[in-house]
Each structure stands twice: as C-alpha cells, then as structure tokens.
Amino acid sequence: MNVSEMKCKSCGGNSFVQAMDFINLRPVDKKLTFGSERIFTVCLDCGEVVSIKVKNPERLIK
C-alpha cells in the first residue's frame, strides 16, 4: 500500500513519514554480518509505527 493511501489504526490520521534506524537487523547467530536496514512508517499525528519493513531481506539469509 502506498503511504499516501494509508490510514492510522490508532488515531485515524493519514500523514506519515518513512524513517530508517541506523542499527541494522541481523541474524542472531551471525554477529559479524552487515544485516539490513529497517524502514519504519510512522504516523505524524500520534507517533504510532504502522509498518516495519526490512530493506534488504536477502542479507538475512544464513
């Protein structure tokens, strides 16, 4: 779903921003791998995180 078409389930808002965390997600048993960034979609009205997506899921394969 496109961000412009979304509606927040918590407050009904329709203004969102996508943001990335600077700490990569990585497999538990691979401490030295680069892993992948997470993309968060956040409601600008209430701060609810409505979506978390892994940018490069192929980097999590063992």
Q: Using one digit for the tens of pLDDT, what is the confidence trace for 4-50?
A: 788 999 999 999 999 998 888 887 777 777 889 999 999 999 999 99
Into how many domains does the chain fold? Answer: 1
Residue labelled with tokens 């918590």: 10
Decide if 45 is inside a domain.
yes
Residue 60: the pLDDT is 84
62 in any annotated domain: no
User: pTM of the full predicted structure?
Assistant: 0.76
Which two three-digit tokens encode residue 8? 């927040």
Domain that holds residue 10: 3-26+34-57
Closest CA to 55 of 9, 29, 18: 18
Residue 49 main-chain phi, psi, to 5 deg:
-85, 110
* Radius of gyration (C-alpha) of the chain in whole angstroms: 14
In a domain, 17, yes or no: yes
pLDDT at 62: 58
Torsion of CA 29, 24, 49, 61, to 10 degrees: -50
